[in-house]
Amino acid sequence: MWTIDKHRYDKLPYPTVIVVGGGFAGLEVVQGLAGQPYKVLLLDKQNHHCFQPLLYQVATASLGADSIGHPFRRTVGPMPNVAFRMAEVLRVVPQEKRIETSVGDFRYDLLILALGSTTNFFGNRAMAEHAMQLKSISQALDIRSDFLQEFERAMVLLEEEERRRCLNFVIVGAGPTGVELAGALAEIRRTVLRHEYRELDSSLMRIVLIDSNDRVLKSFSPASSARALRYLEELGVEVRLGQRVMGGDDERIQLDDGTGLETNTVIWAAGVKGMLIPGLETAVHERANRYQVDRMNAVQGAEGVYALGDIALMAEEAWPHGHPQVAQAAIQQARHLVRNLIRRSRGEGAIPFCYRDKGSMAVIGRRRAVVDLGRRSFGGTLAWLLWMFVHVVQLVGFRNRVMVLVNWAWKYLSWKNTIRLIVRPYVRRGTVIVRPFTPVE
């Protein structure tokens, strides 16, 4: 292990590994290569790691943004062979082993792409323009401001129809993000809206969860899907299965059965696709929008380039269409690639990757969660506690773990979402969403 006093990063005589993206996979690679005979450069357009599984809690005012974000420089600071640059990668030039970024060009010996995913609107341009997303901390803060602004606006409107439109919240996509977000909003209706907005009839708030599949949490076991649907219905969430959102604007959406819903807030959580960058088009699987990689995560046709996580399409016998785009797949691939790079530095050969499915879990409000572990599925309080434990352990940084535990404990004891501040009003298409109020006579 080197010391910062004796060695400067730019003078280290080791192969240069550039890691693009500081999500679960990218951060795992950086931490795994710390102290190894490689010169590592982490690039990300943000200056922090975001713990995406808890984004919905930032969006629903249960956690602050700093509880799930961790600065990259705090992580790489003690690592003498690792550096960080805040930059957006614009293009890869594999034949020259060079990448072009917003802060200049960088040359590499090995390039590791861990760009993660972006929202997939499946060609629905209207929703791409009007719907809200939940893939970053800034988007979570937009959702938080939006629903609080809608509450305040509904307080002063005289027409019930306009109040209902303010209090209609539509979530498209009944995967883990959609289900967890719907459950959190339902608890806000039951607690915050009822007790702190007493002039409003809380029953006017409507939460609609729409999905084109025949059940919620399609990737979970049928038993967990049924249990999650029951929890949602107990919380008063209106679940519409087998329906698609065809279009809409800032005040209304249209469904494929010809009906519509009046709403100011649509949150799109219906799917994701790999976040690709120009320069490696020959390796892209167009239908999946992911890079085709071998069992060592090497991108096909690009020497020295690897892809991990959501952007990597690796076929195994048990996973012929690639691994699920979830955190555990990204982390496992990253750890395996680190082992292979260490073997490479020792002159040893690489070994193929094999994915281990460690199960799935989702939470739907207080003491309501579902867990799939192998062939076993269960729910209720035990699943809820297990979900909390797993997510706290996976958080980056001791401070974040403590903050999340404290916030969860206070929320459990007080029944309150503590961070209900509109500090940056949500702006849609250049106009603050809080329209001029009608005076109350």
pLDDT of 27 higher than 70:
yes
Residue 165 shares a structural domain with residue 297: no
* Domain assignment of residue 154, yes or no: yes
Answer whether 22's CB lies under 8 Å from 28's CB. no
Q: Which residues of 253-290 are buried (b: 16+ CB within 10 A; e: fewer)?
A: bbbeeeeebebbbbbbbbebbbbbbebbeebbbeeebb
Q: Which ranges in 90-246 belong to alpha helices (H)?
A: 125-130, 137-156, 160-166, 176-188, 194-196, 222-234
- At 238, is the pLDDT very low, low, confident or very high (cuts 50, 70, 90)? very high
- At 434, is the pLDDT very low, low, confident or very high (cuts 50, 70, 90)? very low
Residue 164 shares a structural domain with residue 230: yes
What pLDDT, on the 0 to 100 scale, is given for residue 429?
56
- 110 contact partners, CB below 8 Å, separation of at least 6: 15, 16, 17, 18, 38, 304, 305, 306, 341
**Residues 140-166, mean pLDDT to the nearest whole number:** 93
Q: What is the CA angle 6-12-17, rounded to 5? A: 135
* Domain assignment of residue 79, yes or no: no
Residue 259 shares a structural domain with residue 395: yes
Residue 415 shares a structural domain with residue 366: yes
Q: Which 3 state secondary structure label does DSSP give 254?
A: strand
Residue 146 shares a structural domain with residue 246: yes
* Domain assignment of residue 398, yes or no: yes
Residue 160 shares a structural domain with residue 37: no
Distance CA 167, CA 382 (A): 33
- 356 contact partners, CB below 8 Å, separation of at least 6: 332
Is 234 an annotated catalytic residue? Answer: no
Q: Which 3 state secondary structure label does DSSP give 9?
A: helix
**pLDDT tens profile 199-221:** 899 999 999 999 999 999 999 99
CATH no. for residue 317?
Answer: 3.50.50.60
Average pLDDT, the chain: 91
Q: Which two tokens stand for residue 122?
A: 């499946």
Residue 223 shares a structural domain with residue 365: yes
pTM of the model: 0.90
Q: Which two tokens stand for residue 282?
A: 């020959």
- At 152, is the pLDDT very low, low, confident or very high (cuts 50, 70, 90)? very high
What pLDDT, on the 0 to 100 scale, is given for residue 4?
40
**Residues 54-60, mean pLDDT to the nearest whole number:** 95
Phi, psi of 218 (to 5 degrees): -55, -30
Q: Which 3 state secondary structure label does DSSP give 402?
A: helix
Indicate the residue type of 113.
Answer: L
What pLDDT, on the 0 to 100 scale, is given for residue 438?
40
- At 437, is the pLDDT very low, low, confident or very high (cuts 50, 70, 90)? very low
**pLDDT tens profile 101-151:** 999 999 999 999 999 999 999 999 999 999 999 999 999 999 999 999 999
For CA atoms 267, 269, 273, 276, give the dihedral sign. positive
Residue 33 shares a structural domain with residue 91: yes
* Domain assignment of residue 222, yes or no: yes
Name the active-site residue from 100, 129, 162, 180.
Answer: 180
Helical (H) or strand (E) element with 67 = helix 65-68
- Chain center to CA of 152: 28
- At 415, is the pLDDT very low, low, confident or very high (cuts 50, 70, 90)? low
**pLDDT tens profile 292-324:** 999 999 999 999 999 999 999 999 989 999 999
* Domain assignment of residue 15, yes or no: yes
What pLDDT, on the 0 to 100 scale, is given for residue 8?
67
pLDDT of 433 higher than 70:
no
**Given its phi and psi angles, is residue 195 left (phi above 0), alpha (psi -120 to 50 degrees) or beta?**
alpha
What pLDDT, on the 0 to 100 scale, is given for residue 407?
82
pLDDT of 410 higher than 90:
no
Indicate the residue type of 318.
Answer: A
Q: Which of 373, 398, 375 is nearest to 383 (CA)?
A: 373
Indicate the residue type of 269.
Answer: A
Distance CA 195, CA 174 (A): 28
Answer whether 105's CB lies under 8 Å from 89's CB. no
Higher pLDDT, 97 or 6: 97
Residue 13 shares a structural domain with residue 101: yes
Domain boundary among 296, 321, 345: 345
What pLDDT, on the 0 to 100 scale, is given for residue 208?
98
* DSSP track, 145-164: HHHHHHHHHHHH---HHHHH
- Distance (Å) of CA 283 to CA 122, 294, 323: 21, 11, 17
Residue 211 shares a structural domain with residue 288: no
**Residues 407-425, mean pLDDT to the nearest whole number:** 77
* Domain assignment of residue 81, yes or no: no
pLDDT of 75 higher than 90:
yes
* Domain assignment of residue 417, yes or no: yes
- At 5, is the pLDDT very low, low, confident or very high (cuts 50, 70, 90)? very low
Range(s) of the domain holding residue 340: 9-45+87-119+273-345
**pLDDT tens profile 240-265:** 999 999 999 989 999 999 999 999 99
Helical (H) or strand (E) element with 380 = none
* Domain assignment of residue 406, yes or no: yes
What pLDDT, on the 0 to 100 scale, is given for residue 286?
87
CATH no. for residue 242?
Answer: 3.50.50.100
Residue 265 shares a structural domain with residue 282: no
Residue 100 shares a structural domain with residue 204: no
What domain count does the chain have? 2
